Every structure is written in structure tokens, then in C-alpha cells.
């Protein structure tokens, strides 16, 4: 279990996603990395049917091909508190049984898939994010497997990312790690520097959810500006649970 960092790759104008992925893949191969299969991370969101007096809750169900026997889920009750759960794959069937309480929002099913590379102890995944078969962007996942804490190896990961992406990566830790809050013994929320915690698979999944939510929101803002009034029922809910979402720091509540 190593530390994983997600890095969205900005698409230059006039270039297609497939072209960029191809280019990055070639760069990695010439660096000495080896191609090691494919990967897939998908996310489906279920929304609770509205009841009188109770706020709408969302359940995000994610799968990660790196942990093929597990289903990750997060309940978001809209008040800023998240409950996360790792379960066996059979959890998916359980969700299907709960259609009375939770309905799936098929139009927001989002996934990131692509090639997986290994370079020394690094695992690099070039993911293209698609929602409903529409290409949304490029999300690079980089994992350094021997290390268990971000603060130990962030500079290494940063150097690696800058090296093959050719873009400048900020010196600060990624926002997911710095903006985590915990409830302390006095019941108050407190900023907790997560870079000094032992990394867990759930952290990878939470980072994916954070980025996926950003991609979804981006689309909804787009459609809203286009005057079609899209977004439907889902729009306010997704926006509602992300009040301070500027800069991708939205899901930062554990």
C-alpha cells in the first residue's frame, strides 16, 4: 500500500484527449517504464428519495480495479459529515435492493480508465475521465508503493510528475491532504494535516470522488450557463453538498 496522488492534466487547445494520452504513454515508455495492464475507477451516485423533514442524502459507490474485491462507498448527508465504508463486492447488489430509499442517478455515472504503467516502484495510471460516454478530461494517478506517508515522499512524487508531464506542480501538498478536518474531543471541527497519516486505500477513493465531483459540477455549470436549465433534480443536491468547492477542496471532510 503506497501513497497515491491524483493530478488532473489540463488539455491544451486543439488537442484531443486520446492524442495527449498517447503522447504521455510514449514518454513513460521511453523513460523506462513498462506497460502493466489497464485500470478502471468508476463512481455511481445514489440519491435518497426526499422525505419530509429529512435532508437529501447521497451515497457514492466507487470501484477501483486495484482492489477488485472491494466496493467503496461514502454517505454524504449534506451537513458536511461523511461516512465511508469499504465492503465486499456484494454491496452492489445490496444497493440494487434499496431502490425504495436510494435511486441511482444514471446520468452522473462517471469513470476513469486507461493504461497502467510501472516505473521502479512507481505505478502511473493515465486515466481518461468519461461521463455517460462523453470525454471529460485527463486524470493522472501516481502511486509510490514503498512509502506509507505523503509527507515522506511528496517531493519525489512531485519531481516524477513534473518530469514526465512537463507541467509545473505546486510545491504544497495536494489540497485533499491539507484540508481534511476531524472532530476533536471537544466536538469541534479541526483542520487535520493528513500528509502525516498512514495512507489507506480509502484515501485514493476519496480523492477520485473529489475530482469526479469537480468534473460533474463543471458540466452542470456549463449546461446551466447554456440556458437549457439542465442539471435536473441532481444539480442542487450535488452543488448543495459542495458549498466551498473552489479549487477541488470540496470533499475534504472526513
Partner 1 sequence: MIMDKLNVTLTAVKNLRSNVRQCFEHLADGTDGEGVEESRNKFVHEFQEKYNNINSQLREVEQLINGLQVPPTAYHLGNTTYLAQETSQDRQALYPQLVNSYKWIDKVHDHSFLAFNNLNQNTLRRSYNYCSQKRQRLPFSSFNNDPDHIEKLLSEINYPTHTTYKVFRPFGSNAVAIVTIANVLKAAIVFKGVLIEWVTVKGFDEQLDHDDLWAESRYEVFRKVQEHTHSAMLHFYSPTLPDLAVKSYMTWLNSHYKLFLEPCKRCGKFIANGLPPTRRDLRTLEPFHEECRNC
> Does residue 149 belong to the site contacting partner 1 (CB under 8 A)?
yes
Answer for which of 147, 237, 239, 241 binds partner 1 (CB under 8 A) is: 147
Beta strand 34-48 pairing with 58-64: antiparallel
Which string of x and - marks every residue 186-205 that binds partner 1 (by CB under 8 A)? ------------x-------
Segment interacting with partner 1, rule: CB under 8 A, options 52-60, 96-104, 157-165, 167-175: 157-165
Segment interacting with partner 1, rule: CB under 8 A, options 90-98, 150-158, 213-221, 228-236: 150-158
Distance CA 98, CA 106 (A): 15
> Does residue 72 belong to the site contacting partner 1 (CB under 8 A)?
no
Segment interacting with partner 1, rule: CB under 8 A, options 16-24, 73-81, 119-127, 216-224: 119-127
Answer for which of 37, 80, 120, 166 binds partner 1 (CB under 8 A) is: 120
Query: Is 120 in contact with 153 (CB distance < 8 Å)?
Result: no
Segment interacting with partner 1, rule: CB under 8 A, options 53-61, 156-164, 185-193, 227-235: 156-164
> Does residue 152 belong to the site contacting partner 1 (CB under 8 A)?
yes
Answer for which of 56, 77, 92, 119 binds partner 1 (CB under 8 A) is: 119
Of the candidates 191, 210, 199, 222, the residue with the CA atom closest to the CA atom of residue 150: 199
Number of chain residues interacting with partner 1 (CB under 8 A): 21
- Looking at beta carbons only, is 33 or 131 nearer to partner 1? 33
- Looking at beta carbons only, is 91 or 152 nearer to partner 1? 152
Q: Which residues of this chain interact with partner 1, rule CB under 8 A?
A: 1, 32-33, 119-122, 144-149, 152-153, 155-156, 159-160, 163, 198
Amino acid at each position: 500500500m503506497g501513497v497515491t496522488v491524483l493530478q488532473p492534466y489540463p488539455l491544451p487547445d486543439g488537442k484531443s484527449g486520446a492524442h495527449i494520452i498517447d503522447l504521455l504513454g510514449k514518454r513513460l515508455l521511453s523513460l523506462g517504464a513498462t506497460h502493466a495492464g489497464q485500470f478502471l475507477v468508476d463512481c455511481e451516485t445514489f440519491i435518497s428519495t426526499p422525505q419530509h423533514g429529512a435532508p437529501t442524502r447521497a451515497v457514492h459507490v466507487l470501484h477501483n480495479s486495484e482492489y477488485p474485491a472491494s466496493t467503496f462507498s461514502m454517505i454524504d448527508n449534506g451537513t458536511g459529515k461523511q461516512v465511508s465504508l469499504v465492503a465486499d463486492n456484494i454491496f452492489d447488489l445490496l444497493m440494487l435492493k434499496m431502490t425504495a430509499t436510494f435511486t441511482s442517478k444514471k446520468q452522473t455515472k462517471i469513470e476513469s480508465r486507461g493504461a497502467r504503467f510501472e516505473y521502479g516502484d512507481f505505478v502511473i495510471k493515465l486515466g481518461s475521465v468519461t461521463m455517460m460516454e462523453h470525454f471529460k478530461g485527463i486524470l493522472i494517478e501516481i502511486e509510490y508503493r514503498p512509502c506509507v506517508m505523503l509527507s515522506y515522499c511528496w517531493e519525489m512524487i512531485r519531481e516524477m510528475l513534473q518530469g514526465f508531464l512537463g507541467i509545473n506542480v505546486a510545491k504544497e501538498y495536494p489540497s485533499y491532504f491539507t484540508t481534511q478536518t476531524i472532530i476533536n474531543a471537544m466536538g469541534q471541527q479541526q483542520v487535520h494535516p493528513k500528509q502525516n497519516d498512514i495512507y489507506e486505500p480509502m484515501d485514493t477513493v476519496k480523492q477520485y470522488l473529489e475530482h469526479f465531483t469537480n468534473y460533474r459540477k463543471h458540466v452542470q455549470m456549463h449546461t446551466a450557463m447554456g440556458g437549457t436549465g439542465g442539471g435536473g433534480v441532481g444539480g442542487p443536491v450535488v452543488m448543495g453538498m459542495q458549498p466551498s468547492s473552489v479549487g477541488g477542496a470540496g470533499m475534504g471532510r472526513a
